[in-house]
Structure 1
């Protein structure tokens, strides 16, 4: 039997108690994918853009409605929206001469699920 096949309790340090899992941890591919999403959200402008779109009725907004209030140029706004779209947080649809952006609920649910970790009472304080 190789070391990899040994039960977890056999390879831990003496006196180290193994705690049971209450949920499955992220796999390496899932962690890589989610890291890209968090990287897209790590920019304050992108985080605000997502928030602005999510604040509209139906979590959808025309690019003309979301550009105001930002101290960056329209091409920069477009770049940030593209990053959010490529991360899977937004989708877009052209209607006439305007582009409408929509929050992708499945992506937000995935992030929410990851962040919804029950904290022990002592850690919650």
Structure 2
């Protein structure tokens, strides 16, 4: 666990909003299954385009934010055709909470 990389990823208000939105994607985004091929599944995943629209900033900025959070371990991604979906890595976020509680 790279706590410095995680802290950097969490040090931006929009990135924090994205983590909040992805905690309950059905509350913040329209249904996302339309671009996932039949027979495939990426439960709770949200397309980059939907996140971009919700955040109201450029797709390139959102993509860099999402990639930073993925590298930090907070998110995971799935690609279906030209569409990339992201979701929270709940097990990692739980471990992070435990680490903060015990170590900091």
The two structures share one fold, judged by TM-score above 0.5: yes
Question: What RMSD, in angstroms, separates the aligned Cα atoms of the two structures?
Answer: 1.8
Structure 1 unaligned blocks of 5 or more = 1-29, 118-125
Aligned to 2:63: 78
Structure of larger gyration radius:
1
- Alpha-carbon contact 2:77-2:87 (below 8 Å) kept: yes
Distance across 2 between alignment mates of 1:59 and 1:108 = 15
Structure 2 unaligned blocks of 5 or more = 27-42
Query: Which deviates more, 64-73 or 79-88?
Result: 64-73
Aligned to 2:10: 41
The alignment covers a number of residue pairs equal to 86
Aligned to 1:50: 19
Higher relative contact order (CA 8 A, sep 6+): 2
TM-score by structure 1 length? 0.60
Distance across 1 between alignment mates of 2:4 and 2:44 = 23
- The structure where helix makes up a greater share of residues is 2
Once the two structures are TM-superposed, the CA of residue 52 in structure 1 deviates from its matched residue by 1.5
TM-score by structure 2 length? 0.71
Distance across 1 between alignment mates of 2:5 and 2:49 = 27
